[in-house]
Structure 1
Amino acid sequence: MLKGNFLEVYIKMAQRYAVIDLETTGNSPKKGDRIIQFAGVAIENGKIVEEFSTFICPRQEVPVFIEELTGITNDIVKDAPEFEEVAPRIVEFLRDSCFVAHNVLFDLSFLQEELTRCGFEGFFGSAIDTVELAKITKPTSDGYKLNQLARQENLEHDRPHRADSDAYVTALLFLELNKKLATLPLITLKKLYKLSFSLKSDISDLLDELMSGKLAKTEVRRHDIKIFRGLALKKESGKDAYEHQESTIYYPADNEKKAELMQRSIRDMEYRQDQFKMIDLVFESFQLGRHAIIEAGTGIGKTLGYLIPAAFFAKQQRNTVLVSTYTIQLQEQLIHKEVPKLKEMLPFNINAVLLKSKSNYLSLAKFERALREKDDNYETALAKMQILIWLTETETGDKDELNLTSGGKLFWERLQSNGNIDPALFQPWAAADFYERARRVARTADLIVTSHAYLAADLLSGERTIPADGFVILDEAQHLEHAAAKYLGCRLDYISVKTLLNRFGTYEQKLLLYRLQKMVKDNKLQGLKSIAGLEQALGDFNYGFENLFYLLSGIAETHLSDQGTGRLAMKVKEHPEWKQVSMLAERLIDQLGVITSQLEERVDALKQIDALGKNSRFFIGEFEMQVQKLKKISSVLRGIFIEPSDGYIYWMDYTKSAPHHGLSLSSQPIAAGAALWETLLASQKSVVMTSSTLSAKNSFQFFKRQLGIKDTDMKAVKLPSPFDYSKRVKAFIASDMPEMNLVSQSEFTKASSEHLISAARATRGRMLILFNSQDMLRETFQRVKDSGELEEFTLLAQGITGGSKLKLLRNFQSFDKALLFGTASLWEGIDLLGIDLSCLVIVRLPFSPPEEPVTAAKCSLMEKQGKNSFSEYLLPEAVLRFRQCFGRLISSKVGKGVLLVLDRRISTARYGKEFLGAVAGLKWEEVSVRALERKIEEWI
């Protein structure tokens, strides 16, 4: 909450601000929806001076879902005044004010309609949207809903979706956001002001007031900000002084010392013998310079189990230890959650840093030039404003800190550190460059935290920043092969190609093509082919590309007609239906050759001009990046349709609802990990591979094959989970589910939905339901929703209810009674610790679909090699996934959980015992849908 009256330091806020919130019967007054509660909070001179709130009789029934959302019932509003009676009071409240609301377009337009309907003049003053203002002033926020922002600002919001509470909290939020703006350097405010005229609300008025206040007084300089080439940047925090004397650092060899160490950070630390064993194993592996595989069961404390020995070894030996994990989210968790714990434990300072790919870092040189451009669209202007404020906060320049819109993310592609930029333009910014800073810090770090994607790219690109003979920890090591495959593969989708072509535009549209040709004319370059021919070639390619994706979507529709989404292998050499596609692809490659040749001819001619200005050189660098993208398209088309490799698999992903726009082409090596170990990792002094699930059938052979590990002497250790599963989890098999291969999908999903409803009633929500297929997920979700049996539950579904994986999980976490329907990609690589699951449902055993192109290609290769693809690949992979699924249910030692498997094969198939025995100590019980609810209630 606002401390004191900070805003008065610079401004008196001469403007009156009326902060408004409405509760309504629906979203459209034109269709008869009405206001049921109005609330306003007036702000003058930085203080709340007036509040006004009233219920309003809508002269219609309040819908049930509005009653549930707001708590405003028909009984509450039936005797309230009608809108006509309170309208004069509302008009008076708004007089000479700036209208402020959270999502101002809704509240203002709805109120305008109601005032007009009742014969009053509408509101004609300025308006400010606190959603838009929050996006600018809080560019790193996880979300911009009112309750999220209130929580971030520590504002009490005890009655959300009540207009009086929402309006008051919005007023407090508005003051907090103003307070933040007031702390910004004047040089930043001026830049924000210039950009603010592209916004949807009148934030320019607010910025104008702030600047006037600052200009009227001597600006108080912030000690944490430096002005560099006209940009306000956060100063780098001072580095700790690190002691590198080996004699002062003693490894805690006995368990009592380890326990004492950990208790510095974890007060209620539980003594875990196997965690201490893991600490010793990692330290010993590094000391002896040998490789190791460590499976650390759920609950052992794996992360600290490798961070503690890594820290001691790094400091003792003055070496850097690299820690690689599966995703950027897990990277962030390590550095922001686990490393602070580690620092509290250690008797010495430790320097741990994040290292990501170059494209993750902002190029200040590019951003400086982008700020000089005019005619920004809305999302570009918003992104520029977000970045300007972010630069006063960030020390990393890492885009993952930012919450950008989709248009903002497209704009970022122009600002990222990779790509072409004239050295003369980069040099002035070299001292402040974020990527160079990250590399510089990494060179002196004790621990470097990175992702498998970055590690694979670094190892495979030949341009190494990571030492070839160092000390490495691979967390979630089973995913490294996938990261390598993704790096070695490629992807081409309709949207990205069309976006690129639209950036070139036509000459008349005055986009990239126009700007290039204008530079050619202004510099009087002669002897170049006409712009008309180049424009025609781009048009022809655009038309041909449309035809290519039309043909591909037709093929996909034929093969995947019964699926909403699907993946189809592209066997160009084997089937005649691909001949026409290949011929068209070859024409497109030829057209791209002509286009890129003519574009490069112009660029090369311009680069020869010594007197070319900095802005022109910056544009040429940007333009060359776009030409490289055209060349990449040509390379992908050639690799897929003209010169496919026998060692690669090619496929397309298809979405029936968007046959063109949702189509993408992909490729990757069939066995990316086969040579990964020997060619890239074996040269490291020591590699420790760890995860909670690396073994299948009590063997590490499957994992070793995935990475191409042939080292038979490598230490491989299995550390069991400390949990007593028989006391914590009850495992049920649905005895009356139909066999999937004997019934239609419709019958299977009908039976599945009945079991899910029973389980939800008994567990009262917090259910995670995992599917192998998006189609089955969609059908089951719809059945559960349409049944009306779980109306008091929040139903969330991947790919249906919207949002990213992290947003889905946050929503799931915020509701006590919730069901989350997801596929394997939902939970892989995301930490569910802190999300209390009461029930995990595995709808089908997690086998990779044999018809899925990558799976089919791997199986085919194994069969050709005389191997049994089911027993050596499909089954162990499914068992590992099953164990990973189970690990999501066991997040703490508190409470009881339920595991429900709807796939009868676990008890009827000969391989079922592999799953039944996959989790040691777990007891199974078969149960019918009629008894399921009672059995779960008895257990819980």
Structure 2
Amino acid sequence: MKHKDTYAVVDIETTGGNVASGDRMIQFGCVLIEDDQIVHRFATDINPLISIPKQIEHLTGLSNKSVALAPYFEDIAATIYNLLDGCIIIAHNIQFDYVFLSGELQRCGMPPLKNKGIDTVELAQVLLPTESSYRLNDLVSKFNIEHTNPHQADSDAAVTAELFLVLKQKLKELPLVTVEKMVELSENLTMETAYFFKTTLTEMKNRPIPLSKLLMIKNGLAIKVKQPIFEQKNYREDARYPANLDHKEQLFQTKLTIRNQQIKMMDAVYDYFSSNEPNHFAIEAATGVGKTLGYLLPLAYIATVEDPVVISTYTTLLQKQLLDKDMVQLNTILPFTVQAAILKSKNHYIHLTKFEEALKDPADQKVEVVYKMKLLTWLTETETGDLDELNLTNYNHLFWNKIRHRGWLTKPEEDQWYDEDFYLHAQHKIKHASVIITNHSFLCHDLNRKEKELPRIGKLIVDEAQHLPDVAMEASSEVFGYYRMQQVIKLIGHASDEKSFLGRITQLSQQLSKIEPSHIENMEMNLFSLEDELTDFIYQLLVYCKNTAGSELYQQEQLDIQFNRETQWNLTLRKSSKKVLALMNEISYLGFELVNQGLDESHQITQRERYLLEDFFDMIKIFEGQKDIFYAVFQENEDNEVTWFSYKEKSPKNSFMIKRSKVNSSKFIKENLLDKIALILYTGATLEINGSFSYFETQLGEENLKQLIIESPYDYKKQARLWIPKELRPIKDLSRKDYVHMIVEQVENIIKNSVENTMVLFNSYEILQEVYFALQKKPSASGRELLAQGFSGSRERILKRFFRSTGGILLGADSFWEGVDLPGKSLSIIVITRLPFESPDRPFVKVKHRYLEQKHLNPFTIDSLPKATLRLKQGFGRLIRSENDKGIMIVLDNRLIQTSYGKQIIRSLPKGLPIEEVTTENIGKKLKNFLNAAEK
């Protein structure tokens, strides 16, 4: 009879990360599992004979005093070695625990560990594909596993054991074909994690379970069956909009709270979309109004499949929230069901045929193996095929380009997964939906497309509308990169290189008569010439930049030189640009010709060879995109656009980029949106400044907007405070070092006098980074969860951890100024490190302001100040999220009260908000008094 495996689930706590550097173990925990049952537990503290660092003490609760009477590792090394002998070791991030433990054993004269090892982080990444965090605390919280003492080895080992059993059960519930594929792929996983997949597959084959009716198998892949979409019936005859308060209360009952401000918004939205109002409508709905339901409820009675309402919001994350949370909530109170669907571009979806092909490719990179296995699990769960569900921090790995959807060059019906295609399914949903949810970026790019993906829009709601002008500007901005062009040229390659596109097309031409070898030869020759001509041209532009910049500007690390073709264009540069452009045109033409010649005989080639042509087509499209930007920069000149050359002094040629952007997007929005859609409702919490929508109107190109301001239901006089420390020196008088020191000093003061969650908002990532490193070294910050953008994972992951923490400190920039919903105790204090003016050194800001000055306009008054005002309003909006919240904003910039424009910014903040200067010492005392009063 075969000996059954015993799993030893291990966790250790240490003084640091490296045995060889003198770090030592201070706690060991182990749980033994046999036959999927926990059969034994062992845990011990360890006296390391060295001092335990303060941050480790705060993290683990273990101190020099608490381990003083514990055994030395030398005393228990043999016990631990014998305990683990013959076991398969499991740990969460096993490579740390295994290597450290083995090192400690060898230090004590024991043999190194030779046990098999399994990593639960990797198992979780594969078997829980949509999790946003794989930290042990977050995973055990998901499965309601009780974790009494996080960062204590006995507790961590116990919950890791329970997590392992949950993951094993999850694996056993997958279809056999899925696990068989995983076993094929798993050889490249960490240590012997592959062994776990093999043994579990054997168990599954011995006790097979029938395939779920929710799944189907095709070509050896198991995927979830898509549910049919039923066209909704015309419900408007049976159900009428609840016009009065009684009807609304009947609708809401006990399921949702009804608010007066929200009712005001609902009625205004219903009246607008029911009328023939000639003007578009803007509603500023302050925090606490409940604006999403404020527009969703009335549109439910207006939208139909034949005449859908399109909602555009700021991000794909907000799209998902609208569909999965807000629409679900709406449908719980309606007497009918509103069908809603999300519209995104193709590349958000997995292409099943391409994934099937990618599974055949050898994968020697561990990360690619994990991605493939993760997708195998995900395909048994997802109904949308939307890759955003995977919650990855980035999708830049080449693997994602291999498998994401890019449409078809041939007839879609020829795709063997045509009937199950996720993008087509999403399109089908759109046709049967009365509410279509998209995002500003997709909307703006779609307005630019010749072939539109959005249906004809009669009614549009723009949520978070304050972002539309910037997103439209971004959608119309263009970048030509010398390095990027070199990479494309390299990938297209030479006919003699079997791995390059031209090399593989050459091989394909040997079996296809229609591919002309002369086209390949001409393309190769033109690519050689382009490399030389483009390099020479960029060199000329660098000389031009040096002459234009002058010696003083040239000392900067990053150079941004504005370019005006009409006034700064010499004959040599003009001739060179024409040569480069002629070569680009020829290469582009030949590339598309080769693709068409190959597709003429597509019936003679394999699926893989067809994908070669599709990938080559995509590469030529990228090339042509760069060519079109090059043409626009050097052959066109528009009044509303700025062009600048940008590069780093250390590597001028490779970092050289040509950037082109509209100065404002109002013309683009007006021509493509405002003039084409009859009914548009804009909404957001920060559309007006001091009661005026004029800045918002100018940004959009709107005129005569119908306007409504719905004020917040919150009592800011009682619920909030805004303080400016009295001792502050003007920021312009501080060196960078002194500025960082001042922020750290103020944050430390808050930490020492409060146990509340605090968010610190920055304008600069560089300053954020320096403050983060400085705070890490402060004893007062140890034991507090310190999270920082760029260091602690994705935005969603950081917010989830911050929400769960007590006394957490979050350092954020950019996206953390808005769209953050942290009610109650999850956020009580916000620190604004300086007034949120855009940095005048940012390339685009610099050239935009220069352009405005050339037009005799004041950039500060018409651009910088309104933007900063709205930004501060957005930041303040994070603080009070319910009627019971109390919160304090501390602004570390005395310009707010000492300048006329600061006082102008103050006037835009909520009415009744108490604003005062307070000494740093008193801030500590007043913090306690004000926030403690919230608990009474």
Name the residue aligned to 1:307: 296
Partner Cα separation in structure 1 for residue 486 and residue 635 of structure 2:
22
Q: Residue 765 of structure 2 corresponds to which residue in structure 1?
A: 774
Name the counterpart of 2:217: 227
Match of 1:680 among 660, 673, 683: 673
**Given the alignment of the two structures, is residue 461 of structure 1 paired with residue 449 of structure 2, yes or no?**
yes
3-state DSSP class of the match of 2:402? coil
Matched, 1:571 2:560: no
Residue identity opposite 1:231 in structure 2? L
Q: CA deviation at 1:833?
A: 4.8
TM-score w.r.t. length of structure 1: 0.89
Question: Which residue of the partner structure matches residue 839 of structure 1?
Answer: 829
Match in the other structure for 1:288: 275
Q: Which residue of 1 aligns with 2:915?
A: 924
Q: Which residue of 2 aligns with 1:248?
A: 238
Q: 1:550-606: per-residue Cα shift (whole Å, max 9, x none)?
A: 999999998778988x78354264998999999998887677567656655654554
Say whether residues 1:695 and 2:694 are aligned partners: no
Asked if residue 39 in structure 1 is aligned to residue 32 in structure 2, the reply is no
Q: Which moved more, 1:673-682 or 1:496-505?
A: 496-505
**By how many angstroms is 1:304 displaced?**
0.8
Q: Which one is further off, 279-288 or 143-152? A: 143-152
Most deviating of 163-172 and 903-912: 903-912
SS of aligned partner of 2:666: coil
| Alignment match, 2:606 | 613
1:715-762 deviations in Å (ceiling 9; x for gaps): 211111111111111122333322334554444444444334334434
Distance 1:642 1:25, change over 3 A: farther
CA contact (8 A) 1:383 1:408 kept: no
Alpha carbons of structure 1 residues 424 and 142: separation in structure 2 relative to 1, 3 Å: closer
Contact 1:304 1:342 in 2 (8 A): yes
Q: Deviations over 1:485-524 (max 9, x none)?
A: 1111124568866775776678668465554443345668
Q: Give the distance between the partners of 1:865 and 1:552, measured in 2 at CA.
A: 25
In structure 2, C-alpha distance between the alignment counterparts of 1:76 and 1:551, rounded to whole Å: 68
Alpha-carbon distance in structure 2 between the residues aligned to 1:166 and 1:137: 20
Cα separation, 2, equivalents of 1:502 and 1:668:
28
**Shift, 1:778, TM fit:** 4.1
Return the alpha-carbon distance in structure 2 between the equivalents of residues 131 and 549 of structure 1: 50
1:67 is aligned to 57
* Unaligned residue ranges in structure 1 (runs of 5+): 1-10
1:117 to 107, 118, 133: 107
Is 1:273 the counterpart of 2:260? The answer is: yes
More divergent stretch after superposition (255-264 vs 132-141): 255-264
Contact 1:549 1:663 in 2 (8 A): no
Give the SS at the match of 1:333.
helix
Tell me which residue corresponds to 2:800. 810
The question of whether the paired residues in 2 share the 8 Å contact of 1:363 and 1:434 is answered with yes
Tell me the residue number matched to 2:126: 136
TM superposition score normalised by structure 2: 0.89
Aligned partner of 1:415 in structure 2 is: 403
Contact 2:231 2:433 in 1 (8 A): no
The residue aligned with 1:5 is none
For residues 891 and 553 of structure 1, what CA distance do their matches in structure 2 show?
50
Q: How many Å apart are 1:295 and its aligned residue?
A: 0.9
2:934 aligns with none
Are the equivalent residues in 1 in contact too, given 2:559–2:649 (CA < 8 A)? Answer: no
Aligned to 1:161: 151
**Per the alignment, do residues 737 and 396 of structure 1 end up closer, same or farther by CA in structure 2, a change over 3 Å counting?**
same
- Identity, in percent, stands at 33
Match of 2:706 in 1: 715
Inter-partner Cα distance in structure 1 for 2:108 and 2:534? 53
Contact kept? 2:803, 2:822, Cα under 8 Å = no
Instruction: Give 2:870's aligned residue.
Output: 880
C-alpha distance after superposition, 1:607-648 (max 9, x if no partner): 444522222112221222123223333334444567564432
CA shift, 1:700, in A, is 0.9
One-letter code aligned to 1:738: R
Amino acid at match of 1:138: L
**Counterpart-to-counterpart distance in 2, 1:906 and 1:352:** 44
Displacement of 1:803 in angstroms is 2.8
Specify which of 177, 180, 184 is matched with residue 190 of structure 1: 180
Distance 1:230 1:587, change over 3 A: farther
Partner SS state of residue 129, structure 2 = coil
Shift of 1:240: 6.5
SS in 1 for 2:445: helix
Contact 1:41 1:50 in 2 (8 A): yes
Question: Which range moved further: 357-366 or 824-833?
Answer: 824-833
Q: Does 1:477 align with 2:469?
A: no
Deviation at 1:272, TM superposition (A): 2.3
- Cα offset for 1:886? 1.5
Aligned to 1:733: 724
Distance 1:828 1:105, change over 3 A: same
Are the equivalent residues in 2 in contact too, given 1:39–1:54 (CA < 8 A)? yes
Report if the CA contact (8 A) 1:262-1:345 is conserved: yes
Counterpart residue identity of residue 313, structure 1:
I
Q: Is 1:624 matched with 2:617?
A: yes
Residue 811 (structure 2) aligns with: 821
Whole-Å separation in 2 of the counterparts to 1:586 and 1:39 = 71
Q: Secondary structure at the match of 1:825?
A: helix
Q: CA contact under 8 A between 1:563 and 1:656: conserved in structure 2?
A: yes
* Structure 1 match to 2:896: 906
Separation in 2 of the partners of 1:657 and 1:836?
44
Counterparts in 2 of 1:338-737, with a 5 A limit? 338-404=326-392, 409-423=397-411, 426-491=414-479, 510=499, 512=501, 514-521=503-510, 526-527=517-518, 528-529=520-521, 568-571=560-563, 573=565, 603-609=595-601, 610-640=603-633, 645-651=638-644, 666-710=659-703, 712=704, 714-737=705-728
CA change 1:381–1:596 in 2 (3 A) is farther
Task: Report what 1:325 is aligned to.
Answer: 313
Q: Tell me how far 1:223 sits from its aligned partner.
A: 1.3
What code does the residue aligned with 1:284 have?
A: D
Matched, 1:146 2:139: no
The CA deviation at 1:425 is: 7.5
- AA of the residue aligned to 1:211: L
Give the secondary structure class of the aligned counterpart of 1:414: helix
Is 547-556 or 880-889 further displaced after alignment? 547-556
Measure the CA separation in 2 of the matches of 1:804 and 1:612.
43
Residues 486, 531 of structure 2: 8 Å contact kept: no
- Letter of the 1:671 counterpart: N
**1:300, CA displacement in angstroms?**
1.0
- Note if contact 2:820-2:878 (Cα within 8 Å) is conserved in structure 1: no
Pairs aligned (count): 922
CA shift at 1:420, angstroms? 4.8
Say if 1:145 and 1:753 are closer, same or farther in 2 by CA, change over 3 A: closer
Stretch of structure 1 that moved more, 747-756 or 815-824: 747-756
Letter in 1 for 2:284: E
Higher deviation after alignment, 893-902 or 300-309: 893-902
What is the DSSP-based 3-state SS (H/G/I as helix, E as strand, rest coil) of the residue aligned with 1:314?
coil
- How far residue 865 of structure 1 moved from its aligned partner, in angstroms, is 5.1
Change (3 A) 1:330 1:557: farther
| Compared CA separation, residues 402 and 72, structure 1 to 2 (3 A) | same
**Cα deviation digits, residues 342-393 of structure 1 (max 9, x gap):** 1212121121222211111111122122222234532222211111111110
1:534-556 Cα shifts (integer Å, max 9, x gaps): 89679869988998999999999
Query: CA contact under 8 A between 1:240 and 1:349: conserved in structure 2?
Result: no
